[in-house]
Amino acid sequence: MSAVIESKPSSQPSPASGKAEGKGGRRLNPKYLPLTATISLFMLMASFGSFAYDSFFSAQVFLNLLIDNAFLIVVAVGMTFVILSGGIDLSVGAVIALTTMVSAALVERHGWSPLAVIPLVLAMGTAFGAFQGLLIERFRLQPFIVTLAGMFLARGLCYLISIDSISITNAFYTQVSQIRIPVWGDASLSISAVIAIVVVLAAVFIAHCTAFGRAVYAVGGSEHSAMLMGLPVRRTLIGVYTLSGFCSALAGVIFTFYMLSGYGLHAVGLELDAIAAVVIGGTLLTGGVGYVVGTLFGALMLGIIQTLISFDGSLSSWWTRIVVGALLFVFCLLQRFFTSRAPLR
């Protein structure tokens, strides 16, 4: 099933078409309204910050949103595919922590080369996600319970390695963490931000230009209908959790560059931030409707809220959680409003 369904023009508005005609001409399909609202709100916040605070409107400030939230963007991309399929993955934060712990232990305690450690932890995260997907598909278990168990398992494995933080002093990690790629003027991007951009672009291609992406949308819309259409439902369900595990491990590698340490308490609660980014980005929690680009703006939205609070200087950092919570309520209500007026699929 295609993510965007085109239909022949008619005199009546059609919720299934890419564009619908009304009395005033063409209007936006309701399925795009949450994404439009997310992008519009992001632009509104950026405009407010530019007028309210000196030096806010600069290239580096906006590029810092990518730099500081690169790991969140990557893990939220994986979460997007899971939620599009109608599932959930609560283990992503714990997999990030496990990735940092394994990386730190192998590099610092056992003298492994980072070029061997990074592929190993990526394979580990991918296998972890595939195992969860297999349990969910094979035994028809609830994704919430399976990934909750995966979260506890991954956190527990962290403390089998060490109960303390392990600092990383390896030259490769320190050099990569300090590399800056010039963009224009004095503005620059980190390696982690570039990786996040590449992941987003690859995810957009997978979601909209591959059979796997179309199957993900179809399964999220109706698993029974997808089976009747002859789509590989089982492979798709396992595939989305495998992809989420890979993205979590990759986010763990980025987080290792960012923190230069491994610790069992790294990324606590990040799974909730990832879910918030996906929902604020316009993806329906019931599955079948959503866009990777929306998830990108959802993650940047969390970042710009933190930036605005930092520029203000008089507000506690906990206001970030308050604002994000309010936004989640608003976007959940918007989704309910849109789906009650017209089907988003």
Look at residue 185 in the predicted model and tell me its pLDDT.
80
Residue 288 lies in a domain: yes
SS3 state at 182: strand
Residue 54 lies in a domain: yes
**Which range of residues forms the domain containing residue 217?**
30-341
Residue 329 lies in a domain: yes
pLDDT band at 116 (very low <50, low <70, confident <90, very high): very high
Q: How many CB atoms lie within 10 A of CB 334?
A: 15
pLDDT in tens, 202-225: 999 999 999 999 999 999 999 999
Residue 150 lies in a domain: yes
The Cα-based distances of 155 to 95, 163, 341 in angstroms read: 8, 11, 43
Residue 119 lies in a domain: yes
Mean pLDDT across 99-127: 97
Q: Is the pLDDT of residue 342 over 60?
A: no
Which 8-state DSSP code applies to residue 108?
I
Residue 111 lies in a domain: yes
Look at residue 17 in the predicted model and tell me its pLDDT.
43
Look at residue 5 in the predicted model and tell me its pLDDT.
39
pLDDT band at 107 (very low <50, low <70, confident <90, very high): very high
Residue 21 lies in a domain: no
Residue 11 lies in a domain: no
Residue 306's Cβ-count burial label (10 Å; 0-12, 13-18, 19+) is middle
pLDDT in tens, 125-142: 999 999 999 999 999 999
Q: What is the CATH number of the domain that holds 285?
A: 1.10.3470.10
Number of domains in the chain: 1
Structure tokens at 195: 């990786």
pTM attached to this predicted model: 0.90
